[in-house]
């Protein structure tokens, strides 16, 4: 349905005696909206075409369209239309036009040619034939020939050759009308300004303004949607600050009439938003926020468009007053702006959860480049509109947020573990394991509740004959079997492990086939990270306010080292405003915690492409910016030798061994001295390096203890669920000696 754009003009304005025929070009998908806009600007005989919208109107309409159109690219006034069938007839048709009535010999002109036929096969040749006809007409009239000016012409001629007809027009707009002049750097893949305006109209922003509502863009980027929303709300002509229009070089330009229309537009522009209307934008990328602020300042809109650095995870509904009419409109990053399809998937899922949880009762419009992105939001869209922004195919999806519009894959809140009384009786061995699970959970329950821990180790070979690790990940369970010693026969080992599975299934009230089962052996080098499955299923869990992706099936390790939870929490609590470096970053969980804690920026270095991409997905699911939290795929030692950036907090958690084909062999015992020394070169004089590894026989080199201030903080970094395994890792806080 077409929407009212709010254009009202005084009765009795001066009109030209003769109306002109115009073509207003626009992006694909915007034509129906543009037709409504042009009608309200004074056009008549309106017809939508594949190229845009054709219409008739007086000269005053052309001025209004160039000044007020939020949707058009260009406004062309038609000069002639002829039937042609050869280069000669093209030339004659051009020469027959009274060009001296449109511009003078002193004017510089340019020709834009569109189309091709059997006799004009390229646009350059076509433009030359048009130029020849124009110049020869001036000569035939006894006038000096005008000059061709490819850059900054006084007048631009547009020739369209299609189906045996040549249409000649003059471009009255000059530079494309979508360029408002406020966006010098839009960042990667921004929406064009007129496409952003179309998105806002499709989302009902005009009605929201009329009802005193609020607009929020939770991933505002360079602020295009916010600024276009402000121009609409302020009734401000989008080209009000433009210095040049194409009609300035047209001989039929009426300066007095133009000045009157321009003065009227200036008098209409509001300086403050209508009562109740607010426009807010957030983004996790500090550089994007700075661009948005700069763009808004170019139109003096800093007091109207309010932007702030805030990741998606922290965006909530305004609480300073009740808001009955709220609108979310956003163009989330995708494609190259996120790096991987998996990252885009996680970001759109996170957006859907945020919308459902925090913005009940609001309306939503989300721009997506692929239908799968919209489906990943997990909400039902009641309307979709296809658009193009430059060469990009996009669509805007509309949602209404109410309780009935629920996420399709929404995970229920985690229930307390409870012993199930359903099923066959357990064997004596399985019952012993089940009893131990119950005992362990009771011991941990107060800590789990107070710290809001949802991922933890429930059992770690508490009974040596049942050698397994049992980890809880939200509603899911993983059981990892430790390889039995050679003294235990295979049949006994298999029977005992089956009893463990039975106990876990009973205690956690799960079918055995729903439990992630792995056999864990002693690993060397990167073998602990190698793929053992192909499910590609990732589960979202929460730790200290951060959403994290784990995979319980494809790798021996899940993507989240549970024993490092206290260290990650320490980093999160102390990193605000600081520079953070994560070496051997794995899936980047510590970097996500640093970002959630307000790190100024971070760098994460790891050699594995799989885990660098996993980190990017972790950023995306939290709505965090890769521009602010950089991922580097490189050998850590090589990177340290070449990088010169200084950091305030560094996490160095190397593997015990590494024999990757892409780097030199690494042994933490042999190589840790060089590694720490290189890392300390990157540490600020007031900073701290947290060095950790899980080699139980590791001995710190004495030379380091004299060179740096080193504190063993292992005991502080072992969480309650690993109290039985105090040697699960070793950890030190390393600082520079402070000069007196």
Alpha-carbon radius of gyration of the chain: 33
Alpha-carbon distance of 93 to 81, in angstroms, equals 8
In a domain, 325, yes or no: yes
Taking 50 as the threshold, does the pLDDT of residue 81 lie above it?
A: yes
Element (H, E) at 516: strand 516-520
pTM: 0.72
For 45: left if phi > 0, alpha if psi spans -120 to 50, otherwise beta; the answer is left
For the residues 269-275, what does the mean pLDDT come to? 94
Q: Are 623 and 218 in contact (CB under 8 A)?
A: yes
Which DSSP symbol is given to 464? T
Q: Do 363 and 439 share a domain, yes or no?
A: no
Q: How many CA atoms lie within 13 A of 324 on its CB side?
A: 5
pLDDT digits (tens, 9 = 90+) for 363-401: 999 999 888 888 889 898 999 999 988 888 899 999 999
Q: Quick one: pLDDT at residue 68? A: 98
Q: Which of 379, 400, 421 is the last residue of a domain?
A: 400
In a domain, 146, yes or no: no
User: Mean pLDDT over all residues of the chain?
Assistant: 88
Identify the CA nearest to 230 among candidates 306, 320, 179: 306
Q: Do 390 and 449 share a domain, yes or no?
A: no
Taking 90 as the threshold, does the pLDDT of residue 627 lie above it?
A: no
Q: Do 317 and 389 share a domain, yes or no?
A: yes
Q: Do 348 and 302 share a domain, yes or no?
A: yes
Q: Do 423 and 289 share a domain, yes or no?
A: no
Q: Do 474 and 588 share a domain, yes or no?
A: no
Residue 417 confidence class, pLDDT cut points 50, 70, 90? very low
Q: Which of 521, 553, 573 is the last residue of a domain?
A: 521
Share above pLDDT 90 across residues of the chain, in percent, rounded to a whole number = 67
Taking 70 as the threshold, does the pLDDT of residue 146 lie above it?
A: yes
Q: Do 428 and 389 share a domain, yes or no?
A: no
Share above pLDDT 70 across residues of the chain, in percent, rounded to a whole number = 89
pLDDT digits (tens, 9 = 90+) for 688-729: 999 999 998 999 999 999 999 999 999 999 999 999 888 899
Least confident of 205-209, 235-239, 335-339, 528-532: 528-532
Q: Quick one: pLDDT at residue 521? A: 47
> Which range among 312-321, 330-339, 653-662 has the greatest average pLDDT?
312-321
Which residues lie below 8 Å from residue 640, measured CB to CB, with a gap of 6+? Answer: 583, 675, 678, 679, 681, 682
SS3 737: coil
Residue 534 confidence class, pLDDT cut points 50, 70, 90? low
SS3 116: coil
In a domain, 61, yes or no: no
Q: Do 452 and 473 share a domain, yes or no?
A: yes
pLDDT digits (tens, 9 = 90+) for 262-271: 999 999 999 9
Q: Quick one: pLDDT at residue 185? A: 64
DSSP per position, 561-608: -GGGHHHHHHHHHH-TTSEEEEES-TT-HHHHHHHHTT-SEEEEEES-
For the residues 188-192, what does the mean pLDDT come to? 74
Alpha-carbon distance of 662 to 585, in angstroms, equals 17
CATH value at residue 505: 3.30.750.80
* Tally of residues, the chain: 740
Taking 70 as the threshold, does the pLDDT of residue 203 lie above it?
A: yes
Which residues lie below 8 Å from residue 241, measured CB to CB, with a gap of 6+? Answer: 180, 181, 299
Q: Do 206 and 281 share a domain, yes or no?
A: yes
Q: Are 621 and 600 in contact (CB under 8 A)?
A: no
Alpha-carbon distance of 621 to 351, in angstroms, equals 8
Q: Quick one: pLDDT at residue 131? A: 96
Taking 60 as the threshold, does the pLDDT of residue 223 lie above it?
A: yes
Least confident of 37-51, 114-128, 177-191, 502-516: 177-191
Q: Do 588 and 722 share a domain, yes or no?
A: yes
Q: Do 392 and 436 share a domain, yes or no?
A: no
Domain that holds residue 634: 542-740
Taking 60 as the threshold, does the pLDDT of residue 529 lie above it?
A: no
Q: Quick one: pLDDT at residue 656? A: 87
Alpha-carbon distance of 695 to 341, in angstroms, equals 36
pLDDT digits (tens, 9 = 90+) for 544-602: 989 999 999 887 789 999 999 999 999 999 999 999 999 999 999 999 999 999 999 99
Alpha-carbon distance of 661 to 635, in angstroms, equals 11
Q: Which of 347, 379, 400 is the last residue of a domain?
A: 400
In a domain, 170, yes or no: no
Taking 70 as the threshold, does the pLDDT of residue 616 lie above it?
A: yes
Report how far Cα 214 is from the mean position of its chain's Cα atoms: 22
> Which range among 409-418, 592-601, 663-672 has the greatest average pLDDT?
592-601
Q: Quick one: pLDDT at residue 661? A: 55
Q: Do 512 and 654 share a domain, yes or no?
A: no
* Structural domain count of the chain: 3
In a domain, 592, yes or no: yes
Alpha-carbon distance of 41 to 59, in angstroms, equals 12
In a domain, 583, yes or no: yes
CATH value at residue 613: 3.40.50.150
Q: Quick one: pLDDT at residue 414? A: 32
Q: Are 169 and 79 in contact (CB under 8 A)?
A: yes
Residue 420 confidence class, pLDDT cut points 50, 70, 90? very low
């Amino acid at each position: 349905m077409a929407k009212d754009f709010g254009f009202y003009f005084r009765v009795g304005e001066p009109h030209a005696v003769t109306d002109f025929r115009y073509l207003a070009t626009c992006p694909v998908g915007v034509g129906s909206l543009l037709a409504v806009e042009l009608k309200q600007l004074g056009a008549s005989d309106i017809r939508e075409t594949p190229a845009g919208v054709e219409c008739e109107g007086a000269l005053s309409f052309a001025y209004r369209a160039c000044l007020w159109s939020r949707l058009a690219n260009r406004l062309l006034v038609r000069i002639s239309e002829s039937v042609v069938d050869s280069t000669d007839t093209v030339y004659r048709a051009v020469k027959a036009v009274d060009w001296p009535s449109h511009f003078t010999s002193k004017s510089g002109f340019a020709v834009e040619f569109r189309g091709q036929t059997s006799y004009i096969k390229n646009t350059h040749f076509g433009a030359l034939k048009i130029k020849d006809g124009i110049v020869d007409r001036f000569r035939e009239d006894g006038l000096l020939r005008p000059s061709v000016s490819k850059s900054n012409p006084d007048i631009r001629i547009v020739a369209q050759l299609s189906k045996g007809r040549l249409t000649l027009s003059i471009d009255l707009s000059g530079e494309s009308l979508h360029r408002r002049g406020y966006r010098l750097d839009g960042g990667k893949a921004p929406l064009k300004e007129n496409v952003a305006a179309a998105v806002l109209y499709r989302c009902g922003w005009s009605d929201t303004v009329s009802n005193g509502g609020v607009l929020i863009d939770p991933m505002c980027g360079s602020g295009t949607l916010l600024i276009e929303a402000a121009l609409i709300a302020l009734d401000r002509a989008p080209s009000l600050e433009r210095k040049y229009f194409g009609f300035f070089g047209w001989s039929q330009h009426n300066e007095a009439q133009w000045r009157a229309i321009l003065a009227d537009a200036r008098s209409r522009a509001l300086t403050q938003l209508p009562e109740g209307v607010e426009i807010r934008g957030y983004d996790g990328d500090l550089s994007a926020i700075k661009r948005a602020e700069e763009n808004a300042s170019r139109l003096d809109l800093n007091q109207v468009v309010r932007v702030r650095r805030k990741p998606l995870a922290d965006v909530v509904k305004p609480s300073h007053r009740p808001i009955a009419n709220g609108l979310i409109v956003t163009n989330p990053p995708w494609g190259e702006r996120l790096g991987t399809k998996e990252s885009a998937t996680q970001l759109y899922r996170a957006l859907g959860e945020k919308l459902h949880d925090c913005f009940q009762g609001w309306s939503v419009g989300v721009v997506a480049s692929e239908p799968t992105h919209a489906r990943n939001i997990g909400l039902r869209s009641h309307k979709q509109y296809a658009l193009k922004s430059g060469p990009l195919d996009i669509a805007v999806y509309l949602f209404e947020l109410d309780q009935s519009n629920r996420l399709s894959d929404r995970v229920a809140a985690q229930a307390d573990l409870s012993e199930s009384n359903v099923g066959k009786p357990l064997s004596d061995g399985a019952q012993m394991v089940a009893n131990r699970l119950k005992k362990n959970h009771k011991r941990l329950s107060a800590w789990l509740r107070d710290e809001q821990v949802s991922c933890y180790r429930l059992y770690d070979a508490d009974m040596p004959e049942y050698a397994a690790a049992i980890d809880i990940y939200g509603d899911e369970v993983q059981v990892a079997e430790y390889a039995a010693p050679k003294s235990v026969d295979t049949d006994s080992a298999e029977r005992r492990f089956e009893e463990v599975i039975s106990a876990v299934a009973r205690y956690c009230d799960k079918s055995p086939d729903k439990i992630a089962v792995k056999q864990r052996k002693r690993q060397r080098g990167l073998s602990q990270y190698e793929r053992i499955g192909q499910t590609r299923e990732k589960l979202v869990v929460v730790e200290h306010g951060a959403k994290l992706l784990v995979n319980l099936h494809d790798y021996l390790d899940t993507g989240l080292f549970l024993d490092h939870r206290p260290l990650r929490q320490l980093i999160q609590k102390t990193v605000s405003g600081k520079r953070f470096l994560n070496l051997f970053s794995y899936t980047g969980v510590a970097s996500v915690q640093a970002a959630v804690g307000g790190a100024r920026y971070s760098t994460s270095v790891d050699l594995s492409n799989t885990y660098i991409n996993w980190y990017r997905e972790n950023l995306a699911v939290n709505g965090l910016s890769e521009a602010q939290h950089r991922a580097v795929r490189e050998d850590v030692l090589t990177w340290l030798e070449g990088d010169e950036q200084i950091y305030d907090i560094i996490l160095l958690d190397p593997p015990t061994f590494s024999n990757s084909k892409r780097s030199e062999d690494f042994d933490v015992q042999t190589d840790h001295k060089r590694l720490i020394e290189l890392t300390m070169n990157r540490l600020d004089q007031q900073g701290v390096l947290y060095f950790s590894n899980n080699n139980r026989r590791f001995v710190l080199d004495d030379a380091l203890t004299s060179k740096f201030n080193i504190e063993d903080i292992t005991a502080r970094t072992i969480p309650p669920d690993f109290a039985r395994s105090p040697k699960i890792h070793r950890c030190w806080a390393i600082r520079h000696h402070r000069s007196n």
